[in-house]
Amino acid sequence: MDLFFQQIFNGIMMGSTYAVVALGLTLVYGILHIPNFAHGHLYMLGAYVSFFAITSHGLGFWAAMAVSVAVLALLGIVVERVVYRPLKDQPHINSFISAIGALMILETWVIVTWGPQAQRIPNPYPGAVELLGITMTQQRLLLIVSAMVLIILLQIFIKKTTPGTAIEAVAQNREGAMLVGINVDRIFSLTFAISTGTAAIAATLVAPIFMISPAMGALLGMKAFVIVILGGLGSIPGAIVGGYFLGIVEALGGGYISADYKDVIAFGALLLILAVKPNGLFGKEVA
Partner 1 sequence: MAVKFIREKWFYLLLLAVSLALPLVITDRYIFQIIIMSMVFSIATLSMNLILGYTGQASLAHAGFFAIGAYGLGIMTKAGLSFWLALPAASLLSALVGFIIGLPTLRTRGSYFAIVTLCFGVIVYIVIGNLVEITGGQTGLLGIPLPQLGGLVFNTHKSQYYLVLAFLLLTLFVMHRLVYSLLGLGFMSVRNNEALAESLGINTFATKIISFMTANFFAGMAGGIYASLMGSISPSVASFSHTFFWLVYLMLGGVATLAGPIIGAFAIPVLMEYLQFLQEYRLIIFGALLIIIIMYFPRGLMGGINSLRDKLSKAYKLRKTGGKDGITANK
Partner 2 sequence: MKRVYSILAFLILGLALVAAGCGSKKDEKPAAAGGDKPKEVVLGYTGPLSGPAAEYGQDCFNGLEMAVNDINNAGGFTVGGKKHVFKLEKLDDMADPTNAVNNARRFLNQYKSKVIFNPVFTTTAPMMQINQEKGNEFLIMAYTSTPKAVQMNNSLVVAVPPPFTTYVHALADMAVSQGWKNIAMVVTLGAYGDEWRKAFKEHWESKGGKITADRPANYYTETNFSTQLTAVLATKPDALLIGGPSAPTGLVIEQARGLGFKGGFILVDQAKMEYIDKVVLKGITLMENTMGVAATTQTPLAGSVAFTKKYNDLHKKVATSEVTLNYCSVHALARAMEAAGTVEDPVAIRAAFPKAFPMLGDKFPAEYFGINDKGRMMVMPSVQLIKDGKYSPTVFYAYWPKNEEEFNKVKTETKMTGGTIKYLRVTE
Q: How far is 16 from 13, CA to CA, in rounded Å? A: 5
Rounded Cα gap, residues 100 and 70, in angstroms: 24
Q: Which residues pair with 22 in a beta bridge?
A: none
Shortest Cβ distance from residue 193 to partner 2 (Å)? Answer: 27
Question: Per DSSP, what are the bridge partners of residue 119?
Answer: 212
Q: Which of 118, 128, 257, 286 is the binder for partner 1 (CB under 8 A)?
A: 286
CB of residue 143 to partner 1, shortest distance in Å: 26
Helix (H, G, I), strand (E, B) or coil at 131: strand
- DSSP structure class, residue 171: H
Taking the C-alpha atoms of residue 197 and residue 65, their distance in angstroms, rounded to an integer, is 10
Closest listed residue to residue 150, CA positions, set 201, 191, 221: 201
Q: For binding to partner 2 (CB under 8 A), which residues are involved?
A: 2-3, 6-7, 10, 13-14, 111, 115-118, 120, 128, 130, 135, 137, 209-216, 219, 250-251, 254-256, 259-260, 262
Total residues binding partner 1 (CB under 8 A):
49
71 near partner 1, judged by CB under 8 A: no
257 binds partner 1 (CB under 8 A): no
Please select the residue that binds partner 1; options are 131, 145, 156, 271, rule is CB under 8 A: 271
Choose between 138 and 155: whose C-beta lies nearer to partner 2. Answer: 138
**DSSP conformation letters of 238-265:** HHHHHHHHHHHHHHHIIIII-STTHHHH
> 10 contacts which partner out of partner 1, partner 2, none, CB within 5 to 8 A by kind?
partner 2
Candidate list 3, 74, 100, 145; residue touching partner 1; CB under 8 A: 100
195 is a contact residue toward partner 1 (CB under 8 A): no
- Smallest distance, partner 2 to C-beta of residue 151, A: 20
Helix (H/G/I), strand (E/B), else coil: 212? strand
- Closest among 274, 284, 266, 277 to 226, alpha carbons compared: 266
Of 12-20, 70-78, 170-178, 219-227, the segment contacting partner 1 by CB under 8 A is 219-227
The candidate with the shortest Cα–Cα distance to 41, out of 109, 141, 95, is: 109
DSSP state of 85: G
Contact partner at residue 115 from partner 2, partner 1, none, CB < 5 to 8 Å by partner kind: partner 2
Q: Which is nearer to partner 1, 9 or 84 (CB)?
A: 84
Whole-angstrom Cα Rg for the chain: 19
By CB under 8 A, residue 88 contacts partner 1? no
| Residue 156 engages partner 1 in binding (rule: CB under 8 A) | no
DSSP code for 231: H
Give 17 or 95: the residue with its C-beta nearer to partner 1. Answer: 95
Q: E-strand spans in the chain?
A: 128-131, 134-137
Q: Counting contacts by CB under 8 A, is residue 96 touching partner 1?
A: yes
Summarize as ranges the residues that interact with partner 1 (CB under 8 A). Answer: 29, 35, 82-83, 86-87, 90-98, 100-105, 107-109, 111-112, 219, 222, 225-226, 229, 260-261, 263-264, 266-268, 270-272, 274-276, 278-280, 286-287
